[in-house]
Amino acid sequence: MADMTWLTQETLAHECAIRNEYAKRLADFRPDEKLLKTEWAFANARARADMRTIDRSDMLRIWEFKIVADYSGLGQALTYLALTRLEKDFKVPVKGVLAAFVIPDEIRTANEVLNLGLEFVEIPSQLRRAGDIPISAGRAPTLPDIPTALISPTTTAN
């Protein structure tokens, strides 16, 4: 398994720095989108989306930034998407975005198979410097090995 010890409490600060640099250079990466706000707080929830953008077709995007996309980030992006759709009373087209340097296949598969409708954005590698993320860090994590119950062949489960 890759060494992920650098992922600590400081991760949030690194993610914010990366998000801020991405937002500052949004026109370079997504020329058809305009930044509305970073750290968007929802009125009736204790949640904050990392970023909101809008494109030329009036598609509102709600962003979650991660160094490595994971199930937590997937859940956050879906939560922000739901809160925004409710906030806009389903009258505005809204898309959830999960942005990361690495997006594991199983995250993409969950999105596709479950028809979650999230957009994935791979953050350009040069932005690793914004968050002081080592180039070698943040490779796709391996799935944890979950042990099965220890039941002998002669024992039956109740």
How confident is the model at residue 128, as a pLDDT?
79
* Better-predicted residue by pLDDT, 133 or 117: 117
Q: How far is CA 144 from each of CA 8, 57, 70, 95, rounded to the nearest angstrom? A: 18, 41, 12, 30
Whether residue 61 lies inside any domain: the answer is yes
How confident is the model at residue 3, as a pLDDT?
46
Per-residue pLDDT tens for 1-53? 344 444 455 566 688 889 999 999 999 999 999 999 999 999 888 899 999 99
For residue 26, the domain's CATH number is 3.40.1350.10
Q: How far is CA 130 from each of CA 15, 53, 95, 156, rounded to the nearest angstrom? A: 9, 20, 26, 55
Per-residue pLDDT tens for 51-106? 999 999 999 999 999 999 999 999 999 999 999 999 999 999 999 999 999 999 99
How confident is the model at residue 5, as a pLDDT?
46
Please report where in the chains the tokens 């594991």 appear, as a residue. Answer: 104
Return the exposure string of 132-151: e unless at least 16 CB atoms fall within 10 Å of the residue's CB, then b: ebeeebbebbeeeeeeeeee
Domain count for the chain:
1
For residue 50, the enclosing domain spans 12-131
**H-helix or E-strand containing 91?**
none
